[in-house]
Chains A and B, each alone.
Chain A
Amino acid sequence: MTAIAPVATSPPHARTRADRRKQGWVRRAPLLPALIFTIIVTQLPFVFTLWYSLQSWSLVRPGSQHFVGLSNYADVFTDSQFRQTAINSVVMTVGVVLIAMVIGVALALVLDRKFPGRGVVRTLLITPFLIMPVAAALLWKTVMFDPTFGIVNFVLRPFGIGHFDWIGSFPLGSVMIEMIWQWTPFMMLLVLAGLQSQPKDILEAASTDGARPLQIFRELTLPHLRRYIELGVVLGAIYIVNEFDAVYMMTQGGPGISSANLPFYIYQRAFLGFQVGQAAAMGVVVVVATIIIATFALRLIFTSFSGTEQAA
């Protein structure tokens, strides 16, 4: 799949230790600007978040900043709203990832067939993913889900659903539907890449040996797709767990906090409640949880994809 990087041997003149060290820096030099930039912009803020999380600090009251130790963390763990939004986050992430993946696999199987206009259909199917998330959320909130003028209710009118308020009745569900619509193409593209990398001769051999299509799918295609599906699940989860735009645009987390996920709740605490210390403590808790879950998942996935490069 990937070419093995040429193993660089040290040139013969680099014998002395100083020479070798210089060689090492020459090699490292091209990567340093990007590395240093990334550390400063993405890691430094977390150090400060950690520091802020130990303080009581309201943005609207200057001079209110003082050290309070771990009391913000005690607040976070006893905050029932934090627990509720954490549960919402899990429901949203797991629900959207799984449903988008199931539909994505189905769509990929269709697109793997040859039919007239396949390229056009593929283009149509990836479009939801390309729509700016803010615009997509706005679109679903208004022309799709509007109780009176929305298309969804118009389509469902023959089934006896009149002016039903989808977002008001199922706020979390409505946001999830919008997100599933946006993320299904992502899953479909990854699975389709998996399907198209499957050696066709094996499939043909299986079918001449009398294997039924369903059998072929279960015994050959699905195991082959496994790592593509895993990759889609992990990458999708990384983005979806951070989802902010759809919640912000469609429900503002409401009513109450019924459709708020952790990013939105922390945002509310920091920018509407101005509670810097508490919001920072929540941020730290979320980061720790994410690191624990994601480190294992990511290593697993990318090791299976780049196994050949372990020597490098």
Chain B
Amino acid sequence: MASADQIVTEAQTATAPGRPEIRQVRGRRRRGNVAWGIIGWVVGILFFFPVLWMVLTAFKTEAQAYTNTPTVIFKPTLSQFSTVFSSGIWPYLANSAFATIVSTILVLVLATPCAFALSLRPVRKTRDVLFFFISTKMLPIVAAIIPIYIAARNLHMLDNIFTLVILYTAMNLPIAVWMMRSFFLEVPGELLEAAQMDGAPLRKTMIEVILPVVAPGLAATALICSIFAWNEFFFAVNLTATEAATVPVFLVGFISSEGLYFAQLCAAAVVATLPVVLAGWIAQRQLVRGLSFGAIK
């Protein structure tokens, strides 16, 4: 990228006044953009490469996956995927889906009124409550796992999917509260005032005025919570065994089994990651907001 003063001096020395100098500056810019484009694409592909390689390997035979010089051109096969699906991944997928969906619904049901009480109709000590929520995210879960494990054992809730549902709800609740609050704060004040002037009851205001405005926020929050719940591993590996195990626990099986099969493992990894990657791609505009607890719009 040419420095600004260089452009200015070059533009000044240009013989023809008026349009040609503008064209020259634009030309520089365009060349600059091409250079940035090349850098951008190179680093983008570099970062994406392990994912790309995972997907490619998933369509290979094991023989093609184990070569000294990586096989790039090959006839794709779906046999690894059929092995994965016939090796009993379905119950794990079902458990993951159940824990993700139910915990996300619970999170939204609990977080939405809570965020409302911390934004549009703020209670006293709103800041303290907000910091309490976020501070629960800082506490190392490993310190809580022992009592949780013992409680689950005594309540006969080990290897029970509802244990994971409860824990995932608690895990995502602070994020959802902060995120939903940031969406509530965007509801225009006039809208509320107008509704109140009309004498509409609070519930009606909620449903008819506020909800339509924050609906995209609800969707974004749900997506973020789903991503975290689907990918969660620590609770799943410690609190489940056979009945309630989720997809990440299924993947662990590949590493402890007698031999490693790259292609089959990659196929399983693709199946495990695909839902979240797709959700993340769709929600990428909202990703920042969720990751920053609503601090960044």
A interface residues with partner B (beta carbon < 8 Å): 1-3, 5-6, 8, 24, 27-31, 33-35, 37-38, 41-46, 48-49, 52, 107, 110-111, 113-118, 120-136, 138-144, 146, 148-149, 151, 154, 181, 184-186, 189-190, 192-194, 207-208, 210-213, 228, 231, 235, 238, 241-242, 244-245, 248-249, 262-263, 266-267, 270-271, 276, 279-280, 282-284, 286-287, 290-291, 294-295, 298-299, 301-302, 305-306, 309-310, 312
Dominant SS at the A interface?
helix
Q: Count the B residues whose beta carbon is within 8 Å of the partner chain — how many?
A: 116
15 pairs, CB–CB < 8 Å, chain A vs chain B: A3-B187, A30-B116, A31-B118, A41-B169, A113-B36, A113-B37, A121-B44, A123-B284, A128-B48, A135-B273, A138-B251, A244-B233, A262-B142, A287-B140, A291-B135
Once the chains bind, are A286 and B113 in contact (CB under 8 Å)? no
Inter-chain contacts of B276 with A (CB < 8 A): 130-132
B14-22, B61-69, B77-85 - the one binding chain A: B61-69
Inter-chain contacts of B269 with A (CB < 8 A): 132, 135, 138-139
Query: B147 at interface (Cβ–Cβ under 8 A)?
Result: yes
Q: How far is the CA of A167 from the CA of B150 in the complex (A)?
A: 34
Which of B44, B134, B262 makes the CB contact (< 8 A) with A143?
Answer: B262
Inter-chain contacts of A29 with B (CB < 8 A): 117
Give the number of residue pairs across the A-B interface with Cβ within 8 Å. Answer: 337
Q: How far is the CA of A312 from the CA of B149 in the complex (A)?
A: 39
Q: How far is the CA of A139 from the CA of B272 in the complex (A)?
A: 12
Chain A proximity mask over B40-52: 1 for CB below 8 Å, otherwise 0:
1101110111110
Which of B37, B127, B280 makes the CB contact (< 8 A) with A115?
Answer: B37
Query: B260 at interface (Cβ–Cβ under 8 A)?
Result: yes
B interface residues with partner A (beta carbon < 8 Å): 1, 3-5, 8, 32-34, 36-37, 39-41, 43-45, 47-51, 53-54, 57, 65-70, 110-111, 113-114, 116-124, 126-127, 129, 131-151, 166-167, 169-170, 173-174, 177, 182, 185-189, 192-193, 227, 230-231, 233-234, 237-238, 247-248, 251-252, 254-255, 260, 262, 265-266, 269, 272-273, 276-277, 279-281, 284, 287-288, 291-293, 295-297
Inter-chain contacts of A110 with B (CB < 8 A): 36, 39-40, 43
Once the chains bind, are B177 and A34 in contact (CB under 8 Å)? yes
Inter-chain contacts of B144 with A (CB < 8 A): 42, 45-46, 49, 283
Known contacts: A6-B192, A46-B144. The answer to whether A140 contacts B50 by CB under 8 A is yes
B224, chain A: closest CB distance, angstroms: 11
Q: How far is the CA of A122 from the CA of B33 in the complex (A)?
A: 16
Once the chains bind, are A132 and B113 in contact (CB under 8 Å)? no
Shortest Cβ distance from A163 into B: residue? B68
List 9 extra interface pairs beyond A118-B40, A134-B252, A193-B296, CB under 8 A: A3-B188, A33-B114, A34-B173, A45-B151, A118-B37, A143-B57, A283-B140, A286-B143, A305-B295
Shortest Cβ distance from B45 into A: residue? A124
Shortest Cβ distance from A185 into B: residue? B47
Most buried by B among A46, A126, A208: A126
A294, chain B: closest CB distance, angstroms: 4
Q: How far is the CA of A214 from the CA of B258 in the complex (A)?
A: 55
Q: How far is the CA of A131 from the CA of B126 in the complex (A)?
A: 35
Which of B54, B170, B260, B297 makes the CB contact (< 8 A) with A42?
Answer: B170
Known contacts: A184-B47, A213-B1. The answer to whether A130 contacts B273 by CB under 8 A is yes
Shortest Cβ distance from A109 into B: residue? B36
Once the chains bind, are A279 and B66 in contact (CB under 8 Å)? no
Shortest Cβ distance from A134 into B: residue? B248
Once the chains bind, are B40 and A189 in contact (CB under 8 Å)? no
